[in-house]
Structure 1
Amino acid sequence: MILVAVVFLLPLWVMIATSLKGDELQIMREMATLRALWPFPPAWGNYRAVLTGEGFGTPWARFFLNTCLIVGSIVVLGVLVNSMAAFALARLRFRGRGFLVSAVVALIILPFEGLAVPLFLMINRFGWFDSFQAQIVPFIAHPFSIFLFYQFFNKIPRDLDEAAKVDGASWWQIYRKIALPISRPVIATVAILQSLEYWNSFLWPLMVTRGPEFRPLSVAMNTFFGQPPRHWGDIMAFAFLTALPLLILYLSFQRWFVRSVAQSGLKG
């Protein structure tokens, strides 16, 4: 187990160590040696260059705020929309319910590339090209998130619904006061999975944005990598700063994530 952890953590440490070296020749000379793992004494010039936008034109914080706005909007709106859709599919009985559940499962396996062109034409027709809404609205409804909530809501005893109805509660009140509060593990899991997916999203933002005003970190990082002169210290600093928020998010909600996996039966 320790060996597996070392294998997975070693690239992260190499990235951190490289980002703390200010001499490009030193980085290239030590790349294939054990000295690549030794970042001391640390040089913070690479992080200063990335954060201030030195040589790039736009500070890292600009792309970070863009990404936070996009991902945060998708996660918050997605939790509400997907949980309500899943609650209706799991607790209500209506004609066509089975077909809708099957459609949700089918959409999970449909690759995004198959929808990219129709979505692009729709965004262009709405006049949303080069905007935040073009990167948010198409991804609020998320089939896999609906499926996770559906699996969880299906396991809630129906006696709770009946007891709430006896007390005069509506379906909306049952959802808001009973189903949603006890689904916190699933909410945490959906938040983590959607954050991972859209924080690292590259193809779609590249298609619908032109300049840095609306671009997220993933597209900015690709542009940064390809901009001469290429300094590996700056590149690794940019990459680490981009990955750091996701590491913090996962470590903060790890307990909820593991609990949701156990409760929803996703272990296989």
Structure 2
Amino acid sequence: MSGLALFFIAPLVFMFVSSLKPSGQVMSDSNSVRALLPVGDISLDNYSAVFDRVPVGQFLFNSVLITVFIVVGGLFVNSMAGFALSRLEWRGRGLVFGIIIATLIVPFETIAVPLVYWVSMLPTLVMEGGVLKYDFGWLNSYHVQIVPFIANAFAVFLFTQYFSTIPKSLDEAARIDGASWFMIYRKLIVPLSGPAFATVAILTFLPAWNQYLWPLMTVQKEELRPVMIGMQYFFQLNPEWGEVMAYTSMITIPVLVVFLAFQRAFVSSIAATGVKG
């Protein structure tokens, strides 16, 4: 297990260590174990150079804003869908659930271009001369990076499976006491499903934070772009690999923090969703 852990940790160690070295030293050390050791000309110059090359603060703000809205909105929408599919009895429930699962086999790249067309035709509100007016097109906006990713088929599947493990006798007792279905969801199911919510939060956070193709296609304004688009700023002419490693280190830290904060709930949820009944 320790050897396997080292195998997966090695790229991260290489990234963080290389971010402290000049580009020339990164290349020269790459053929030896020195690539994983903080030796040689060590400094934080690459990190300061990153801020000179790209608007890191704006990119980080955009990614945090987009990711928070996707995660929070996704937890609510997908958990409500999972509740309806697992706890309520209604005609066509199996068909709807099957269609949702079937969408998992469709790669996002196959629907990206049609989706760009549709979002470019959606109505929106714009401010002109202090007056709100209707216009068309969601391109170059925050909501075009948020709304299409709130509903998630895998999150609905995970919530449905986890909610199915909770005894339905609790619902019957709550209904007898006069509770509505939404009250059962809010006061009974949600408090009992912390691991599932933590898992979906992580699995939603990762793709939301790592978005590259979609904002590249829909956002041309620099002040609205997320952190991953900033990577292309470093590959013009001759890449400075020390700065590249510094930038990737900066945008990787939030991912590690989120995973470490929720790893216990993540593991317990994966174990629970694998057991039915």
Q: Same fold (TM over 0.5)?
A: yes
1:25 corresponding residue in structure 2: 24
How many pairs are equivalent?
A: 261
Q: Does the alignment pair 1:7 with 2:17?
A: no
Equivalent of residue 187 in structure 2, options 159, 166, 177: 177
| Partner SS, residue 181 of structure 1 | coil
| Partner SS, residue 69 of structure 2 | helix
- Paired residue type of 1:239: T
Rounded Cα–Cα distance in structure 1 between residues aligned with 2:155 and 2:268: 16
Question: Do the aligned residues in 2 keep the contact of 1:63 with 1:220 (CA within 8 Å)?
Answer: yes
| Partner SS, residue 213 of structure 1 | helix
Rounded Cα–Cα distance in structure 2 between residues aligned with 1:169 and 1:245: 40
Displacement after TM superposition at 1:5 (Å): 1.1
Give matches, 1:200-239, under 5 Å.
200-221=210-231, 223-239=232-248
2:63 corresponding residue in structure 1: 67
Give matches, 1:183-202, under 5 Å.
183-202=193-212
1:174-213: CA deviations, max 9, x gaps? 0000011111101100010111112112111111011321
Query: Pairwise CA RMSD of aligned residues?
Result: 1.5
1:133-165: CA deviations, max 9, x gaps? 001001111010000000011121111011101
1:258 corresponding residue in structure 2: 267
Question: Do the aligned residues in 2 keep the contact of 1:212 with 1:220 (CA within 8 Å)?
Answer: no
Displacement after TM superposition at 1:60 (Å): 1.1
Q: Does the alignment pair 1:165 with 2:175?
A: yes
Rounded Cα–Cα distance in structure 2 between residues aligned with 1:193 and 1:158: 27
Displacement after TM superposition at 1:229 (Å): 4.0
Q: Does the alignment pair 1:122 with 2:121?
A: no
Question: Do the aligned residues in 2 keep the contact of 1:75 with 1:191 (CA within 8 Å)?
Answer: yes
- Paired residue type of 1:160: L
Question: Do the aligned residues in 2 keep the contact of 1:16 with 1:240 (CA within 8 Å)?
Answer: yes
Rounded Cα–Cα distance in structure 1 between residues aligned with 2:26 and 2:85: 56
1:57-90: CA deviations, max 9, x gaps? x321211111111111000000000101110111
- Paired residue type of 2:168: R
Rounded Cα–Cα distance in structure 2 between residues aligned with 1:39 and 1:107: 46
TM-score (norm 2): 0.90
Equivalent of residue 248 in structure 1, options 253, 257, 260: 257
Distance 1:237 1:157, change over 3 A: same
2:96 corresponding residue in structure 1: 100
Rounded Cα–Cα distance in structure 1 between residues aligned with 2:208 and 2:8: 22
Identity over aligned pairs, percent: 47
| Partner SS, residue 146 of structure 2 | helix
| Partner SS, residue 166 of structure 2 | coil
Displacement after TM superposition at 1:233 (Å): 0.8
1:194-242: CA deviations, max 9, x gaps? 1111211211111101132111111111x12312342111000001111
Structure with bigger strand share is: 2
Rounded Cα–Cα distance in structure 1 between residues aligned with 2:91 and 2:79: 20
1:18-66: CA deviations, max 9, x gaps? 1011x3332222221222222246301111122x2x1x2x321211111
2:38 corresponding residue in structure 1: 39
Question: Do the aligned residues in 2 keep the contact of 1:82 with 1:142 (CA within 8 Å)?
Answer: yes
Give matches, 1:141-152, under 5 Å.
141-152=151-162
Q: What are structure 1's unaligned runs of at least 5 residues?
A: none
Displacement after TM superposition at 1:104 (Å): 1.1
Rounded Cα–Cα distance in structure 1 between residues aligned with 2:152 and 2:236: 35
Q: What are structure 2's unaligned runs of at least 5 residues?
A: 123-136
